Copies of this chain bind each other. A is one copy, B any other.
């Protein structure tokens, strides 16, 4: 499964694979050739990934082989106990959580599950939570607060589910409640945007003390396709919208929305999930160590200031008052 800007890479990969099948005794040049191809591939990868457009990044963030929340759980945690249910109505399959141990840190780990096979995708509603997902997340966060456990939220969702029953059960209220309650939680909250940060659906678990983001994840107020459909009346112009919306980690760091970029290996997380997950683990652990040193009151005040600063408007004299 290749993205079109990776076609050249795919070709080289294929040639390497072909050559590797040959007998090196019959082809004395073989190892040298393969080595050259690998070097070429490496530099090409670097070149491609240094020149990605925002829209390329969107494609990578949605890549089939990109590590998903369950991969992160398996790779980052020495223990995970899933805790189900919102105690009101259901157990959301798109947004899950539970006790987890990362290094020596016991935390409450929460995140969106997308699924990889068709069955999994359907089961997990393509990672689009319903209100009971946000309410389960809040229940678990409150439990973490009671037990003094830091919270780690891993964000990867196209959007909160725009369904009829989601509306009837208060999708808007569920997200709003989380934003309000998370502002006041008395434990550290680490957020990692790992794939798609889809608008309010992402933000619903993304009010944190530290917002980390994988290099090729995206985080946006609206999907580029939707934005293009509205502003250019043409969903095909999504690449332009992706550009205009400033949704890449680099842009978001500049805008002061995120605190840290977690570098992905050359060629993206989908080429090397293991390294990606390991780097994520390291970044989360470092952040936890830092945040755990802060007092509860300090944490909460800093969190307030952090979000209060976002989009802070310098007061300007209005024309009328000269």
- Residues on the B chain within 8 Å of A312, using CB: none
- Residues on the B chain within 8 Å of A89, using CB: 88-89, 169
- Residues on the B chain within 8 Å of A173, using CB: 87
Return A84 CB to nearest CB of chain B, in Å. Answer: 14
Determine chain A's interface SS by DSSP, over half rule.
loop
Complex alpha-carbon distance, A170 and B88, angstroms: 7
Return A221 CB to nearest CB of chain B, in Å. Answer: 26
Complex alpha-carbon distance, A158 and B89, angstroms: 25
Count of this chain's copies in the oligomeric assembly: 2
Residue in A87, A88, A173 with the greatest tally of chain B CB atoms within 10 Å: A88
Return A303 CB to nearest CB of chain B, in Å. Answer: 22
**Segment 163-203 of A: residues with Cβ below 8 Å from B:** 169-170, 173
**Segment 65-117 of A: residues with Cβ below 8 Å from B:** 87-89
Complex alpha-carbon distance, A173 and B170, angstroms: 20
Return A206 CB to nearest CB of chain B, in Å. Answer: 22
Complex alpha-carbon distance, A169 and B87, angstroms: 8
- Residues on the B chain within 8 Å of A170, using CB: 87-88
Q: In the complex, what residue of chain B is closest to A169 when comparing beta carbons?
A: B89
Return A130 CB to nearest CB of chain B, in Å. Answer: 13
- Residues on the B chain within 8 Å of A169, using CB: 88-89
- Residues on the B chain within 8 Å of A88, using CB: 88-89, 135, 169-170
Return A142 CB to nearest CB of chain B, in Å. Answer: 13
Complex alpha-carbon distance, A87 and B174, angstroms: 9
Return A28 CB to nearest CB of chain B, in Å. Answer: 73
Return A173 CB to nearest CB of chain B, in Å. Answer: 6
Complex alpha-carbon distance, A169 and B90, angstroms: 9
- Residues on the B chain within 8 Å of A87, using CB: 170, 173
- Residues on the B chain within 8 Å of A135, using CB: 88
Q: In the complex, what residue of chain B is closest to A177 when comparing beta carbons?
A: B87
List 3 A-B pairs, minimum CB-CB distance, nearest first: A88-B88, A87-B173, A89-B169
Provide a sorted-by-A list of 9 A–B residue pairs whose CB atoms are within 8 angstroms: A87-B170, A87-B173, A88-B88, A88-B89, A88-B135, A88-B169, A88-B170, A89-B89, A89-B169
Task: List chain A positions with a Cβ less than 8 A from chain B.
Answer: 87-89, 135, 169-170, 173
Q: Supply 7 further A-B pairs (C-beta < 8 A) apart from A88-B170, A89-B89.
A: A87-B170, A87-B173, A88-B88, A88-B89, A88-B135, A88-B169, A89-B169
